Structure 1
Amino acid sequence: MSVASFLLPKDKVAFITSCASVKEALEQLENHYYSALPIVDEEGKYVGTLSEGDLLWALKDKPGLTFENMHEVPICDIEKNIHNESVSIHADMEDMLALAADQNFVPVVDDNHIFIGIIRRKDIIAYYMRNITD
Protein backbone atom coordinates (compact mmCIF):
# COMPACT_ATOMS: atom_id res chain seq x y z
CA MET A 1 0.00 0.00 0.00
CA SER A 2 1.26 3.48 -0.88
CA VAL A 3 1.95 6.09 1.79
CA ALA A 4 -0.19 8.57 -0.16
CA SER A 5 -3.35 7.10 1.35
CA PHE A 6 -2.04 7.90 4.86
CA LEU A 7 -0.71 11.38 4.10
CA LEU A 8 -1.68 14.22 6.38
CA PRO A 9 -1.20 17.04 3.86
CA LYS A 10 1.02 20.04 4.42
CA ASP A 11 -1.93 22.40 4.80
CA LYS A 12 -3.07 20.40 7.84
CA VAL A 13 0.40 20.14 9.45
CA ALA A 14 2.22 22.70 11.56
CA PHE A 15 5.72 23.28 10.25
CA ILE A 16 8.25 26.10 10.31
CA THR A 17 10.61 27.65 7.84
CA SER A 18 14.34 27.48 8.35
CA CYS A 19 14.48 31.26 8.88
CA ALA A 20 11.79 31.32 11.61
CA SER A 21 12.71 32.63 15.04
CA VAL A 22 12.93 30.57 18.21
CA LYS A 23 9.86 32.45 19.45
CA GLU A 24 7.86 31.48 16.34
CA ALA A 25 8.90 27.86 16.80
CA LEU A 26 7.87 27.83 20.46
CA GLU A 27 4.52 29.36 19.55
CA GLN A 28 3.89 26.69 16.88
CA LEU A 29 4.79 23.91 19.31
CA GLU A 30 2.53 25.39 22.00
CA ASN A 31 -0.41 26.15 19.72
CA HIS A 32 -0.48 22.69 18.17
CA TYR A 33 0.61 20.64 21.20
CA TYR A 34 3.47 19.13 19.18
CA SER A 35 6.81 17.97 20.52
CA ALA A 36 8.58 18.45 17.17
CA LEU A 37 8.06 20.32 13.91
CA PRO A 38 9.21 19.70 10.35
CA ILE A 39 11.49 22.43 8.99
CA VAL A 40 11.28 23.54 5.37
CA ASP A 41 13.60 25.89 3.51
CA GLU A 42 12.61 28.91 1.41
CA GLU A 43 11.97 26.60 -1.57
CA GLY A 44 9.62 24.38 0.45
CA LYS A 45 12.08 21.48 0.73
CA TYR A 46 12.17 19.41 3.89
CA VAL A 47 15.46 20.13 5.69
CA GLY A 48 15.02 18.70 9.17
CA THR A 49 13.11 18.57 12.41
CA LEU A 50 13.11 20.90 15.40
CA SER A 51 12.16 19.41 18.76
CA GLU A 52 11.22 20.86 22.12
CA GLY A 53 14.44 19.37 23.42
CA ASP A 54 16.47 21.30 20.84
CA LEU A 55 14.97 24.53 22.14
CA LEU A 56 15.44 23.63 25.79
CA TRP A 57 19.10 22.72 25.22
CA ALA A 58 19.59 25.98 23.30
CA LEU A 59 18.15 28.00 26.20
CA LYS A 60 20.53 26.20 28.55
CA ASP A 61 23.67 26.19 26.41
CA LYS A 62 23.48 29.24 24.12
CA PRO A 63 24.99 32.27 25.88
CA GLY A 64 22.70 35.26 25.78
CA LEU A 65 19.58 33.43 24.60
CA THR A 66 16.67 34.38 26.83
CA PHE A 67 12.89 34.44 26.64
CA GLU A 68 13.14 38.19 26.12
CA ASN A 69 15.30 37.99 22.98
CA MET A 70 14.28 34.68 21.45
CA HIS A 71 12.37 36.53 18.70
CA GLU A 72 15.80 37.69 17.42
CA VAL A 73 17.36 34.22 17.18
CA PRO A 74 16.65 32.15 14.04
CA ILE A 75 16.19 28.42 14.39
CA CYS A 76 18.99 27.91 11.87
CA ASP A 77 21.30 28.92 14.76
CA ILE A 78 19.91 26.13 16.97
CA GLU A 79 21.60 22.72 16.98
CA LYS A 80 19.18 19.98 15.95
CA ASN A 81 19.54 16.71 17.84
CA ILE A 82 17.12 14.65 15.78
CA HIS A 83 16.49 14.33 12.08
CA ASN A 84 13.35 12.56 11.02
CA GLU A 85 14.12 10.76 7.80
CA SER A 86 11.74 11.61 4.99
CA VAL A 87 10.19 9.25 2.46
CA SER A 88 9.01 9.72 -1.08
CA ILE A 89 5.31 9.94 -1.81
CA HIS A 90 5.90 6.79 -3.89
CA ALA A 91 7.16 4.72 -0.92
CA ASP A 92 5.35 1.67 0.41
CA MET A 93 4.06 1.37 3.96
CA GLU A 94 6.64 -1.33 4.62
CA ASP A 95 9.36 1.31 4.08
CA MET A 96 7.99 3.24 7.03
CA LEU A 97 7.77 0.60 9.72
CA ALA A 98 11.41 0.96 10.79
CA LEU A 99 11.17 4.76 10.69
CA ALA A 100 8.06 4.74 12.84
CA ALA A 101 9.94 2.95 15.60
CA ASP A 102 12.20 5.99 16.04
CA GLN A 103 10.08 8.92 14.82
CA ASN A 104 6.75 10.42 15.91
CA PHE A 105 6.11 11.31 12.30
CA VAL A 106 7.61 10.60 8.91
CA PRO A 107 7.94 13.60 6.59
CA VAL A 108 6.78 12.93 3.03
CA VAL A 109 8.35 14.65 0.04
CA ASP A 110 7.69 14.73 -3.69
CA ASP A 111 10.19 13.92 -6.42
CA ASN A 112 11.85 17.33 -5.96
CA HIS A 113 12.18 16.84 -2.18
CA ILE A 114 9.40 19.39 -1.59
CA PHE A 115 7.64 18.80 1.74
CA ILE A 116 4.05 17.70 1.09
CA GLY A 117 2.98 16.39 4.51
CA ILE A 118 3.56 13.76 7.15
CA ILE A 119 2.54 10.26 8.12
CA ARG A 120 1.94 10.00 11.85
CA ARG A 121 3.32 7.07 13.80
CA LYS A 122 -0.12 6.35 15.22
CA ASP A 123 -1.50 5.91 11.67
CA ILE A 124 1.31 3.51 10.77
CA ILE A 125 0.70 1.47 13.92
CA ALA A 126 -3.06 1.43 13.29
CA TYR A 127 -2.48 0.18 9.73
CA TYR A 128 -0.34 -2.72 10.93
CA MET A 129 -2.69 -3.53 13.80
CA ARG A 130 -5.60 -3.82 11.35
CA ASN A 131 -3.58 -6.08 9.08
CA ILE A 132 -2.30 -8.28 11.90
CA THR A 133 -5.72 -8.79 13.49
CA ASP A 134 -7.62 -9.32 10.22
Structure 2
Amino acid sequence: WKQPLSFIVTGQCCFMDCQLYQFHYINKEMTWTEAQQYCREKHTDLVTVTNMKDMKRLINISAGDQKEAWIGLISKPEFIRTWFWSLPGVEFNESETNWKTGEPTDGESENCAYLDNLKWVDTGCGATKISLIDSIIKM
Protein backbone atom coordinates (compact mmCIF):
# COMPACT_ATOMS: atom_id res chain seq x y z
CA TRP A 1 0.00 0.00 0.00
CA LYS A 2 1.42 3.36 -0.98
CA GLN A 3 0.87 6.33 1.33
CA PRO A 4 -0.77 9.24 -0.54
CA LEU A 5 1.14 12.49 -0.92
CA SER A 6 -0.08 15.04 1.61
CA PHE A 7 1.20 18.03 3.57
CA ILE A 8 0.82 18.89 7.20
CA VAL A 9 0.98 22.65 6.82
CA THR A 10 1.71 23.44 10.45
CA GLY A 11 4.74 21.18 10.42
CA GLN A 12 5.70 21.87 6.81
CA CYS A 13 5.84 18.16 6.12
CA CYS A 14 4.53 15.75 3.55
CA PHE A 15 4.41 12.04 2.94
CA MET A 16 6.17 11.09 -0.27
CA ASP A 17 6.62 7.45 -1.17
CA CYS A 18 5.95 6.47 2.45
CA GLN A 19 8.68 8.77 3.76
CA LEU A 20 8.16 11.97 5.70
CA TYR A 21 9.88 15.00 4.16
CA GLN A 22 10.32 18.44 5.65
CA PHE A 23 10.94 21.44 3.42
CA HIS A 24 12.75 24.47 4.77
CA TYR A 25 15.03 27.34 3.84
CA ILE A 26 18.71 27.54 4.71
CA ASN A 27 19.28 31.27 5.15
CA LYS A 28 22.95 31.24 4.20
CA GLU A 29 24.03 32.59 0.82
CA MET A 30 25.87 29.89 -1.15
CA THR A 31 26.55 28.94 -4.75
CA TRP A 32 24.39 26.12 -6.16
CA THR A 33 27.22 23.58 -5.73
CA GLU A 34 27.92 24.70 -2.15
CA ALA A 35 24.20 24.58 -1.37
CA GLN A 36 23.85 21.07 -2.78
CA GLN A 37 26.88 19.86 -0.84
CA TYR A 38 25.56 21.41 2.38
CA CYS A 39 22.10 19.91 1.86
CA ARG A 40 23.47 16.45 1.11
CA GLU A 41 25.73 16.51 4.17
CA LYS A 42 23.14 17.79 6.63
CA HIS A 43 19.76 16.88 5.09
CA THR A 44 18.76 15.05 1.88
CA ASP A 45 19.21 17.38 -1.10
CA LEU A 46 18.02 20.61 -2.62
CA VAL A 47 14.25 20.49 -3.07
CA THR A 48 12.97 18.24 -5.87
CA VAL A 49 9.57 18.71 -7.50
CA THR A 50 8.47 15.53 -9.26
CA ASN A 51 5.10 16.80 -10.53
CA MET A 52 2.82 19.82 -10.42
CA LYS A 53 0.96 18.50 -7.38
CA ASP A 54 4.27 18.69 -5.50
CA MET A 55 4.83 22.22 -6.83
CA LYS A 56 1.37 23.38 -5.75
CA ARG A 57 1.92 21.99 -2.27
CA LEU A 58 5.34 23.60 -2.11
CA ILE A 59 3.77 26.91 -3.18
CA ASN A 60 1.21 26.60 -0.38
CA ILE A 61 3.98 26.03 2.16
CA SER A 62 6.24 28.77 0.76
CA ALA A 63 3.53 31.38 0.21
CA GLY A 64 4.83 33.60 3.01
CA ASP A 65 8.49 33.03 2.13
CA GLN A 66 8.84 34.18 -1.45
CA LYS A 67 12.62 34.47 -1.38
CA GLU A 68 14.99 33.59 -4.20
CA ALA A 69 16.25 30.13 -3.27
CA TRP A 70 18.16 27.37 -5.03
CA ILE A 71 16.23 24.25 -5.99
CA GLY A 72 17.70 20.92 -7.10
CA LEU A 73 17.33 21.55 -10.83
CA ILE A 74 20.44 21.62 -13.04
CA SER A 75 21.24 21.56 -16.74
CA LYS A 76 24.42 19.78 -17.72
CA PRO A 77 26.42 21.75 -20.32
CA GLU A 78 26.98 18.64 -22.45
CA PHE A 79 23.20 18.26 -22.89
CA ILE A 80 21.72 21.40 -24.46
CA ARG A 81 18.31 22.38 -23.02
CA THR A 82 18.09 19.25 -20.89
CA TRP A 83 17.32 19.66 -17.19
CA PHE A 84 17.87 17.14 -14.40
CA TRP A 85 16.87 16.89 -10.74
CA SER A 86 19.96 16.60 -8.55
CA LEU A 87 18.37 13.93 -6.34
CA PRO A 88 19.55 10.59 -7.78
CA GLY A 89 16.83 8.42 -9.28
CA VAL A 90 14.33 11.25 -9.87
CA GLU A 91 13.61 12.09 -13.51
CA PHE A 92 12.76 15.58 -14.75
CA ASN A 93 9.37 15.70 -16.50
CA GLU A 94 9.47 18.39 -19.20
CA SER A 95 5.66 18.53 -19.30
CA GLU A 96 5.40 19.34 -15.57
CA THR A 97 7.39 22.52 -15.03
CA ASN A 98 6.90 25.84 -13.28
CA TRP A 99 9.23 28.13 -15.26
CA LYS A 100 8.75 31.88 -15.02
CA THR A 101 7.54 33.38 -18.33
CA GLY A 102 10.48 33.51 -20.76
CA GLU A 103 12.49 30.94 -18.81
CA PRO A 104 14.61 29.00 -19.11
CA THR A 105 16.70 31.42 -21.14
CA ASP A 106 19.46 28.82 -21.42
CA GLY A 107 22.17 31.44 -21.42
CA GLU A 108 25.67 30.12 -22.02
CA SER A 109 26.38 29.53 -18.34
CA GLU A 110 22.84 29.43 -16.92
CA ASN A 111 22.81 25.82 -15.77
CA CYS A 112 21.22 26.04 -12.31
CA ALA A 113 17.69 26.92 -11.24
CA TYR A 114 16.22 28.83 -8.34
CA LEU A 115 12.75 29.68 -7.08
CA ASP A 116 11.77 33.33 -7.62
CA ASN A 117 8.29 34.39 -6.53
CA LEU A 118 7.34 30.69 -6.66
CA LYS A 119 8.49 30.29 -10.29
CA TRP A 120 11.65 28.64 -11.64
CA VAL A 121 14.44 30.74 -13.17
CA ASP A 122 17.76 29.59 -14.65
CA THR A 123 20.99 31.39 -13.78
CA GLY A 124 24.70 30.81 -13.39
CA CYS A 125 25.62 28.25 -10.75
CA GLY A 126 28.19 30.64 -9.25
CA ALA A 127 25.55 33.13 -8.10
CA THR A 128 24.83 33.11 -4.37
CA LYS A 129 21.37 32.51 -2.96
CA ILE A 130 19.75 30.87 0.03
CA SER A 131 18.58 27.27 -0.43
CA LEU A 132 15.28 25.43 -0.29
CA ILE A 133 15.90 21.89 0.88
CA ASP A 134 14.06 18.77 1.81
CA SER A 135 15.07 16.26 4.40
CA ILE A 136 13.79 12.83 5.27
CA ILE A 137 12.51 12.72 8.82
CA LYS A 138 13.44 9.56 10.68
CA MET A 139 10.35 7.96 12.13
Q: Which has the higher contact order (CA 8 A, sep 6+)?
A: 2
Query: Which of the two has greater helix per residue?
Result: 1
* TM-score bracket relative to the smaller structure: under 0.3
Tell me the TM-score normalised to structure 1 length.
Answer: 0.24
Tell me the TM-score normalised to structure 2 length.
Answer: 0.24
Larger radius of gyration: 1
Query: Which of the two has greater strand per residue?
Result: 2
